[in-house]
Amino acid sequence: MTESAPAPSVPADDAARVPAGDVPFDGPDGALRLLDVEGAPPGTFGEFEPDSPPLIDAEGRVRLSFSRVDSYENCPRRFRYAYVDKLPGKPGPHLSFGTSIHNALEDFYDRKLPACPTEDELLGFLFARWDSSGFAHLPRDEQVAFYRHAQDVLRRYHRKAAPTYRLPAATEAWFELPIGFEATVVGSIDRVDVDDEGRFHVIDYKTNRKVKNRERVAGSLQLAIYALACRHLFGVLPATVSLDFVVPGVTITVPLEDLDLDAARQTVLDTAKAVREERYEPTPNRLCDWCDFRALCPAWEGGEPGRLLGPAVEQLQALRRQVVRDVRTLRELEAGVARIAGEVAGADQDVPPGASR
């Protein structure tokens, strides 16, 4: 691994002499000019440059999540496009709908006092945390229909939850779970409850209409990972894990004994090994019709790769513009602070010893 070049810097004494909007550069030929983002060679940004391959963390582990493992099992090539090549996906209404419901329920339970929020308060959480990104292409009446539907779902949820409402141990509990020396699984558990006997219970919200049966819930890789994460966070495995299907209002709960935790660990390790070996072969299946990257996939003909790459190029250009703006703001602020610091220092020198200001 080559060592990154140091980031361009401005000496404090020189910062005050930098004209507003001008950015100095290091190097005899100006090759490291910080605002020349598009032509900047590797190492220009010093310690901020990536120092490991995609998905590999500082300790050399493959950084995965349930959704990444699930994506790889569905189609390794789609996984590569999304998580290695970092191509942007298309926001959709169902994803934004689910995010909005999750946001509202997080606020519903993330409280300091044990009193149950009212139904109007829950609907207010929905309004405040509504994710509109996936609805931008829809007509106004369809957007409103999704929002009204979300309100109805939460009204039903409130009627069900209010009589037994109690504060959970955690909401959106973030975890970084090492699996051996090969992988780290990251994610957040929607809710972790603790009963009167001190037992933990893991709950994950689902906003799809179809309810999984008990056998499929017991075989859920996601819930097995969350059970391991619960032990990592709180020192104990949960007594139960549940999928709460909030749209139909059905919760499926299974005891810990029904989960295969060893199989979940092995699935993560197998995925990590495949990522290290860069095994990204396409796997055509029934979900290909909804894949954001089908036009690029070698398993399909007749796509328009240029049209798919367009959004990625637009995002790349937007990020470059943001870097330019951020660097300009940084250098202007540095210069301003240096000027003011110099003025303050000069004023202090003008005050005779022992005199008060």
* Burial degree of 290 (CB within 10 A; 0-12, 13-18, 19+): exposed
Q: What is the pLDDT, as a whole number, of residue 38?
A: 62
Quote the CA–CA distance of 235 and 246 in Å, as a whole number: 29
Q: What is the pLDDT, as a whole number, of residue 271?
A: 98
Q: What is the pLDDT, as a whole number, of residue 144?
A: 97
Q: What is the pLDDT, as a whole number, of residue 298?
A: 86
Q: What is the DSSP string of 280-335?
A: ------TTGGG-TTGGG-TT--S--HHHHHHHHHHHHHHHHHHHHHHHHHHHHHHH
Kind plus residue range of the DSSP H or E element containing 245: strand 240-245
Distance set, CA 265 to CA 39, 72, 200, 216 (Å): 43, 15, 21, 18
Quote the CA–CA distance of 252 and 238 in Å, as a whole number: 15
Quote the CA–CA distance of 49 and 43 in Å, as a whole number: 6
Can you give the three-state secondary structure of 229-244, one letter per residue? Answer: HHHHHHCCCCCEEEEE
Quote the CA–CA distance of 8 and 33 in Å, as a whole number: 8
Quote the CA–CA distance of 148 and 141 in Å, as a whole number: 10
Amino acid of residue 30: G
Q: What is the DSSP string of 152-193?
A: HHHHHHHHHHGGG----SEEEEEEEEEETTTEEEEEEEEEEE
Query: Collapsing DSSP states into helix, strand and coil, what is residue 56?
Result: strand
Point out the residues of the chain with pLDDT beneath 70.
Answer: 1-48, 50-52, 302-310, 348-357
Number of H helices, E strands in the chain: 10, 6
Quote the CA–CA distance of 63 and 185 in Å, as a whole number: 6
Model pTM above 0.85: no
Q: What is the pLDDT, as a whole number, of residue 29?
A: 42
Using the 8-state DSSP alphabet, how is residue 258 labeled? G
Domain ranges of the chain: 12-87+308-342, 93-164, 170-272
Answer for the pair 192, 200: CB distance below 8 angstroms, yes or no.
Answer: yes
CATH 3.30.360.10 is held by the domain 170-272: no
